[in-house]
């Protein structure tokens, strides 16, 4: 789908998106390789095909804004500003991992950039993000909270409870649904009654919209507009981004439950290629655009090499960060 060309588009801004989307893709491809190399031990969920949402949303957040993410959270974390090396070390469970090797892919987080965690429990982040927004309101601060979740999450209770809560307390929170068509190996449509996330949100009085999540311009624009509303005290907003999960549910899922033609068609809507197309029509050379991918791959290759060579965390880490009661190996604790 080719958009009419808007000459007012800020080229530099979208070049940065292009770079970030390539970094996410390269990180995911490298993680997939690490998974094949049996160096990633647990399950990992790749966001290949969904990079425009991560980049488009997170670029419009400030560092002080909170972000809560899902099991498919590498892209969000990277786009929020986390260091890919510390992330890759975490995926491999090595020393220097961003969570000291205790969380892995599904608990990837970087509190120093406001990223308060991916989550291994579908929809659990909705209430947590809502609560972070509640804290912002109580403290009279000006940042916001953002929660990204999948289309499968809207069938769990926290979607109802968290959205209702955010409306009742008029909280500064942006809900982002990644409507990628699948919840694990099941088509989400088949298990969802009614019109989906945006309609459900509107029924609770929350401003909500459905947007093409593979078009970086649309993602960027709607996110910017909604965040401005939220910062102006207009309460929670929800965006449901339509996208497609180009790979399997996990890195080891061949996703043979979907027709090849469907996947092929989806690749034609690849958000990165669509962004490249836009930028080349705006006069950026293909060479420069291709260079973005090359640089991203080199970066992630370095990161992977560092992670592979890193030692395991020291054993003491198994017993720290439990609670403030001293060493669990000693005495009463």
Partner 1 sequence: MVKMTYAEAAKLALAEEMRRDPLVWAIGEDLGRGGVFGQYLGLLNEFGPERISDAPISESAIMGASVGAAMAGTRPVVEMRFADFALCAVDELINQAAKARYMLGGQVKVPMVIREPMGMWRSSAAQHSQSLESWYTHIPGLVVAVPSTPADNRGLLKTAIRSDDPVVYLEHKNIWGYEGDVPEDETLIPFGKGRLEKEGDDITIVSWSAQMHIAANAATLLQAEGISAELIDLRTLWPWDRQMVFDSVEKTGRLLITHESVSVGGFGAEIAATVAEQLFSVLKSPITRCAAPRVPISYAPPLEAKIRVSSEQIVEAARKSVAVSAGFK
Helix, strand, or coil (residue 323)? coil
Residue 126 sits in the site that holds partner 1 (CB under 8 A): yes
Stretch that binds ligand TPP, among 120-128, 217-225, 229-237, 293-301 (CB under 6 A): 120-128
**Residue placing its CB nearer to Mg ion in the complex, 84 or 213:** 213
Minimal distance, residue 153 CB to Mg ion, in Å = 8
Among ligand TPP, Mg ion, partner 1, none, residue 117 binds (CB under 5-8 Å by kind): partner 1
CB of residue 240 vs ligand TPP: minimum separation in angstroms?
11
Closest CB to partner 1 among residues 138, 190? 138
Binder among 27, 159, 175, 182 for ligand TPP (CB under 6 A): 182
Give the nearest distance from C-beta 66 to partner 1 in angstroms.
Answer: 6
Q: H-type helices in the chain, by residue range? A: 11-36, 51-58, 74-79, 84-91, 124-138, 157-168, 197-203, 216-231, 260-267, 271-281, 286-309
Contact between 252 and 35 under an 8 Å Cβ cutoff? The reply is yes
Tally of CB atoms within 10 A around 316? 9
Tracing tokens 């449901």 back to the chain, one arrives at 240
Report the SS3 class of residue 82. Answer: coil
Which parts of 223-282 interact with ligand TPP (CB under 6 A)? 245, 249
| Residue 265 vs 325, nearer CB to partner 1 | 325
Is residue 123 helix, strand or coil? Answer: coil
Among Mg ion, ligand TPP, partner 1, none, partner that 168 touches (CB below 5 to 8 angstroms by kind):
partner 1
Q: How far is the CA of 27 from the CAs of 133, 285, 302, 304, 326, in angstroms?
A: 30, 24, 11, 9, 37
Binding partner selected for residue 158 from ligand TPP, Mg ion, partner 1, none, CB under the kind-specific 5 to 8 Å limit: partner 1
Q: Which residues on adjacent β-strands are paired with residue 212? A: 242
By C-alpha distance, which of 272, 301, 285 is closest to 19? 272
- Is 28 exposed, middle or buried, given 0-12, 13-18 or 19+ CB atoms closer than 10 A? buried
Give Rg (Cα) of the chain: 20
**Of partner 1, Mg ion, ligand TPP, none, which one does residue 131 interact with (CB within 5 to 8 Å by kind)?**
partner 1
Among the candidate windows 16-24, 78-86, 150-158, 297-305, which touches ligand TPP by CB under 6 A?
Answer: 150-158
Site for Mg ion in 151-190 (CB under 5 A): 151-152, 180, 182-183
Residues interacting with partner 1, by CB under 8 A?
A: 66, 68, 97-103, 107, 109-112, 116-117, 119-121, 124, 126-136, 138-139, 145, 157-158, 160-162, 164-165, 168, 317, 320-325, 328, 331-333
């Amino acid at each position: 789908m080719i958009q009419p060309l808007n000459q007012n588009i800020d080229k530099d801004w979208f070049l940065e998106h292009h770079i970030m989307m390539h970094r996410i893709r390269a990180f995911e491809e490298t993680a997939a390789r690490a998974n094949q190399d049996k160096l990633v031990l647990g399950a990992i969920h790749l966001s290949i095909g969904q990079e425009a949402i991560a980049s488009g949303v997170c670029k419009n957040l400030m560092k002080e804004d909170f972000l809560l993410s899902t099991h498919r959270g590498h892209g969000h974390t990277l786009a929020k500003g986390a260091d890919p090396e510390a992330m890759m070390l975490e995926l491999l469970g090595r020393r220097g991992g961003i969570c000291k090797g205790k969380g892995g892919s599904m608990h990837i987080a970087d509190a120093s950039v406001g990223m308060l965690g991916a989550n291994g429990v579908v929809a659990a982040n909705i209430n947590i993000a809502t609560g972070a927004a509640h804290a912002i309101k109580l403290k009279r601060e000006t940042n916001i909270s953002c929660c990204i979740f999948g289309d499968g999450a809207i069938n769990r209770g926290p979607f109802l409870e968290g959205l209702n809560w955010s409306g009742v307390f008029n909280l500064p929170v942006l809900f982002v649904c990644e409507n990628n068509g699948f919840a694990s190996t099941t088509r989400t449509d088949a298990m969802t009654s009614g019109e989906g996330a945006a309609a459900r949100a509107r029924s609770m009085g929350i401003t909500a919209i459905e947007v093409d999540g593979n078009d970086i311009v649309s993602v960027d624009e709607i996110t910017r507009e909604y965040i401005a509303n939220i910062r102006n005290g207009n309460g929670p907003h929800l965006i449901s981004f339509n996208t497609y999960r180009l790979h399997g549910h996990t890195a080891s899922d061949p996703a043979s439950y979907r027709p090849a033609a469907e996947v092929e068609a989806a690749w034609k809507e690849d958000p990165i290629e669509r962004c490249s197309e836009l930028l080349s029509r705006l006069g950026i050379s293909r060479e420069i655009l291709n260079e973005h991918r090359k640089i991203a791959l080199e970066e992630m290759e370095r990161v992977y090499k560092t992670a592979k060579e890193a030692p395991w965390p020291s054993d003491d880490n198994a017993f720290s960060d439990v609670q403030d009661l001293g060493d669990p190996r000693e005495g009463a604790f």
